[in-house]
Amino acid sequence: MKDRVWSTATLAGLAGKAVRDLRRPSFPVDVTTPPGDTQTGQPGRYPLDLRPMTAGSVLDHEHVVVTRAVTGAMYRNPVSVSLYALAQHTRALAAGWSPATADERPPGIQALLTQAGWLRAGQDSNGGWRYPVPVPRYGVRPGWYSAMAQGLAVSVMLRAYATTGERSFLDASEGAVELMLRPLEAGGCSHYDQLGRPFPEECPSDPVSHILNGAVFALFGLCELSGHQGGTVHQRVADRLRDSLPEFDLGYWTRYDLRHHAPASFAYHCLHTALLTAAGCALADPRWLAVGTAWERYTRSPTRRLRAAAGKGRFVLREHRAGS
């Protein structure tokens, strides 16, 4: 009887989550502003407007973003910290702030620098930020590095450097990239194919997971560092990811990763289309845009949306059963 009650409650919770997943999230893409100032190499507005995504961010007593772990404890997640920092930077620019002309720093820029300061102080000798939480889905124990965190932190550090001129922010961004591109077997975050092209792993695991959204966020950081340095450090990653896109296409929806043959949630599918549009604009590569447009069409079909929601529900239910 107890198992039956638990099962009913679990199914009800999953059904509620499925309904919430059908609500279209907002991931505005900035297609009008170039990724950076080509004269100075300074980054401009981030390719995605992250303000809607970070609207519910929680700050601790030092005004740094904190996230609740599955255990209930609060901790500083470098991805959440960076997303919030970039959203606040966008907020300041949208209000008319410019690092070249402003004498005072508005609240958005102060928030950016607070998060950047924590990232700089918390970066370890390897150039990264270790996660103190496990990831049961991928069999990963605490102490792992994330390419997504590395790339987002690069984007934050470059903006902090452009604002303050403090070289330590630039040094931190370069160290973060070195760790991101280090092979998994050497303690880094990238899986290399036979052509020597890296796939930045959001959650390094064995076997590899190849999470799409985390890899594209990592790519944005690389693109911005390339813009600052006048180099091409991002190109091999861009080529690898672009060539991998068909593997994420189920024919009616997208996959969250390549380890599990299951449709992504509606929110992540919409994020995928936004990220591809942003990448296509940043890279001036219409092939990204073409795939993004095709994936966007999937969202307009009620049949495909319901099929994806059902498939995602079955996958989550299997995970619950496997973990019980």
In angstroms, the CA 205 to CA 191 distance is 10
Whether residue 43 is predicted with pLDDT greater than 90 in this model: the reply is no
Whether residue 13 is predicted with pLDDT greater than 80 in this model: the reply is no
Segment 139-156 shows an average pLDDT of 97
Given CA atoms 26, 154, 98, 37 in this order, what sign does their dihedral have?
Answer: negative
Cis before 207 (ω within 30):
yes
Whether residue 6 is predicted with pLDDT greater than 70 in this model: the reply is no
- Average pLDDT over the chain reads 90
The answer to whether 298 and 291 have CB atoms below 8 angstroms apart is: no
In angstroms, the CA 282 to CA 285 distance is 8
DSSP 236-279: HHHHHHHHHGGGGB-SSSBBSBSSS-SBPPHHHHHHHHHHHHHH
How distant is the alpha carbon of residue 1 from its chain centre?
42
Whether residue 161 is predicted with pLDDT greater than 80 in this model: the reply is yes
Q: What is the pTM of this model?
A: 0.90
In angstroms, the CA 199 to CA 205 distance is 13
* Percent of the chain with pLDDT strictly greater than 90: 79
Whether residue 11 is predicted with pLDDT greater than 90 in this model: the reply is no
Confidence grade of residue 273 (pLDDT, cut at 50, 70, 90) = very high
Which residue type occupies 226? S
- pLDDT score, position 14: 47
The helix/strand/coil state of 27 is: coil
Segment 145-162 shows an average pLDDT of 98
Paired strand residues for 199: 191
Segment 271-289 shows an average pLDDT of 96
Dihedrals phi, psi of 44, to nearest 5 degrees: -95, -140
Residue 263: C-alpha distances to residues 48, 155, 312 (Å): 23, 29, 6
Euclidean distance between the first and the last CA atom of the chain, given in angstroms as a whole number = 16
